[in-house]
Amino acid sequence: MKKQREFRTVRGYQMLNMENKSLTSSMEDYLEMIYRICVRQGYTRISQLADKLNVRPSSVTKIVQKLRKLELIDYEKYGTIRLTKEGKLIGSFLLKRHEIIDKFLKNIGVEETRLKDTEMIEHDVSINTLKNIHFFNEFISSNKDIKERYDIFRAEFDNEIDLIYPI
Ligand code: CO
């Protein structure tokens, strides 16, 4: 049941791309945020999005218009923003993708830079890599002993490696 739904959301997204409606990274960020909010309260507003995304309302309006053109949201000026059926499908995929990357980084031991790195990786990761990262996360979840061994291994090496950008 769960697997089927994931497949459908990924496919919905691929179909959107095929129709040449591909979203920019910031459109994806907005749609993901609209989805997060709408899951809880059913709708959102420009002011709430501006607040949550830490941007000016005028920037929000621009992107919201674009999402509306793609028929991913319903929006009337100064009114409420709601997801269309397709918007929900893609929004739920974007949130899922975010969560998979976040969990992966957590599994390999990333803490402070996790949110920032997730925000960078999520937009460019291929469906194939995402699927395999998901399998890896599931594997780690069902093999706690391996995670524990990895954490010990990591802790031992942590002070030995000195990675800096060589310029
Ligand atoms: Co995100």
The domain in which residue 32 lies consists of: 10-90
Note whether residue 60 is domain-resident: yes
Q: Are residues 78 and 17 in the same domain?
A: yes
156 and 114 in a single domain? The answer is: yes
C-alpha 147 – ligand 1 centre gap (Å): 25
User: In terms of domains, do 76 and 148 share one?
Assistant: no
Q: How far is the CA of 119 from the centre of ligand 1 (A)?
A: 5
**Ligand 1 centre from 157 Cα, in Å?**
30
Q: Tell whether the model's pLDDT for residue 1 goes beyond 60.
A: no
CA 28 to ligand 1 center in whole angstroms: 8
Q: What is the pLDDT of residue 118?
A: 98
pLDDT at 160 exceeding the cut of 80? no
15 and 86 in a single domain? The answer is yes
User: Could you tell me if 100 and 82 lie in one domain?
Assistant: no
Is 90 exceeded by the pLDDT of residue 164?
no
Q: 107 and 68, same structural domain?
A: no
If pLDDT is split at 50, 70 and 90, which confidence band does 64 have? very high
Domain of 76, CATH number, reads: 1.10.10.10
pTM: 0.84
Output the CA 39–ligand 1 centroid distance in Å: 15
Ligand 1 centroid, distance to 160 Cα (angstroms)? 32
- Whether 37 shows a pLDDT value over 80: the answer reads yes
Q: Is residue 2 part of a domain?
A: no
The 10 Å Cβ neighbour count of residue 35 is 24
pLDDT digit string, tens, across residues 133-153: 999 999 999 999 999 999 999
Chain-wide mean pLDDT for the chain?
A: 89
Structural domains in the chain (count): 2
Q: In angstroms, rounded to a whole number, what is the distance separating the alpha carbons of residues 78 and 16?
A: 28
Distance 33 CA to ligand 1 centre (A): 8
How much distance in Å is there from the Cα of 95 to the middle of ligand 1?
Answer: 7
What pLDDT does residue 11 have?
A: 57
Quick check: is 147 in a domain? yes
Are 105 and 126 in a shared domain? yes
| DSSP designation for 44 | B
Tell whether 19 is covered by a domain.
yes
pLDDT of residue 6: 54
The Cα–Cα gap between 9 and 160 comes to 42
3: in domain: no
The CA distance from 109 to 32, in Å, is: 25
Whether residue 76 is contained in a domain is answered as yes
32 Cα: distance to centroid of ligand 1 (angstroms): 6
The verdict on 61 and 100 lying in the same domain is: no
Residues 80 and 135 in one domain: no
